Structure 1
């Protein structure tokens, strides 16, 4: 089996299904990374406080599925089990080209109204979890999930704004290579990624990346550097 997934005919996931998901993942998962930080891709390290994903913390990625995949690539290639909750259009083939190990990837495309319960269950057994929340979470729900992350030393990457994150990343500028004189094929996408630390205070970071490069991987497109940039909307 190349990847694990929980599929349900009913959009509402009940407690029995959540328990089944936890049991299945524990059976498949041989090891769990013990480090307090998780290795990230070298191209993203300059954008993250401490140069790595912090165990027990949350991060926000605004408006880019490819950037979400890039966030998973480093931990996955280092041996971490990863999960994606609430993203039915998440492309496993593209994820594999980005370096994500599909043998250690769990997909829950349709968590239903119990998406927070499902996310908490997945956080129990996986090192890094990407979540696309279908609705706004209450302060109490965020606090409980944050406590679960710290307890399990897992990392949450949220597609969209989320409270109390370690950093918020977004693609600020984007351009494609490959077209010339109105003809040709789009072959590589160069982006500027900006990162704001917790609370939006302190210096913002900016890096130039190929996302993807011509070979469909991603990497830095030039020297990364720390720059002061404008505020990122939705940081909190």
Structure 2
């Protein structure tokens, strides 16, 4: 009788504590099915633990509001309610272009000194709360993260946030479209990097169109190096 020898990968995958790509994907699907993870647009899924916004987590977004709007759009498309606090310059037209469901979006542009209380109240009943944290003290920020964790809401910070589970840093490049000063803006490339204690074991970076010519967030091919561009 010929002995059946398992491939090395199969033997490794059978060890306790070892995760394969299929296992990670299966866990993410189970978490979404159980309602523990809010979906995001597919181009952003690989940047986040469990391929979405985990309920109870705090995500800090650096580099402008486009990425924040893209995160809100994915959650809203699945029926989640969202709120934006302390961001008076946020444009509703821009939010709609990124796919944010304005019928499920609450805005508190000028909370003033009541910002912590407003955010705390919204975390009790809204799935995703985005906040401009410039005026928050670190101790208060940590208390709000604890409240989000307890209530099962997602806290999105438009800037630095102490103890954030995931940090998303966005570096955007020039718009493409106009030729010799004429034409319409079509798309904008961005490089997004995910890191933090709740992110993958190693920082993850991806190239995106943020947005593309149709106003969507889609993957982009890596930009050519200087040597390739001049070859």
Name structure 1 gaps, 5 residues minimum. Answer: 1-32, 224-236
TM-score by length of 1: 0.75
Question: Deviation of residue 181 (structure 1)?
Answer: 3.5
Question: Deviation of residue 199 (structure 1)?
Answer: 8.0
Map of 1:152 onto structure 2: 151
Gap change, CA 1:45 and 1:200, over 3 Å in 2? closer
Map of 1:101 onto structure 2: 101
CA RMSD, Structure 1 to Structure 2 (Å): 2.1
Map of 1:55 onto structure 2: 55
Q: Deviations over 1:77-124 (max 9, x none)?
A: 000000000001111111112111111000000010111111001111
Q: Distance in 2 between matches of 1:110 and 1:164?
A: 25
Q: Tell me which protein shows more strand as a share of its residues.
A: 1
Name structure 2 gaps, 5 residues minimum. Answer: 1-32, 223-231
Q: Distance in 1 between matches of 2:200 and 2:104?
A: 35
What secondary structure does 2:175 align onto?
strand
Q: Distance in 1 between matches of 2:172 and 2:66?
A: 14
Higher relative contact order (CA 8 A, sep 6+): 1
Map of 1:120 onto structure 2: 120
Mapped contact 1:86–1:134 kept (Cα < 8 A): no
Q: Highest CA radius of gyration, 1 or 2?
A: 2
Q: Deviations over 1:35-78 (max 9, x none)?
A: 11111111101111221111011000112111110111111100
TM-score by length of 2: 0.76
Map of 1:22 onto structure 2: none
- Mean Cα deviation higher: 178-187 or 47-56: 178-187
For residues 214-233 of structure 1, the aligned pairs below 5 Å read: 214-222=213-221
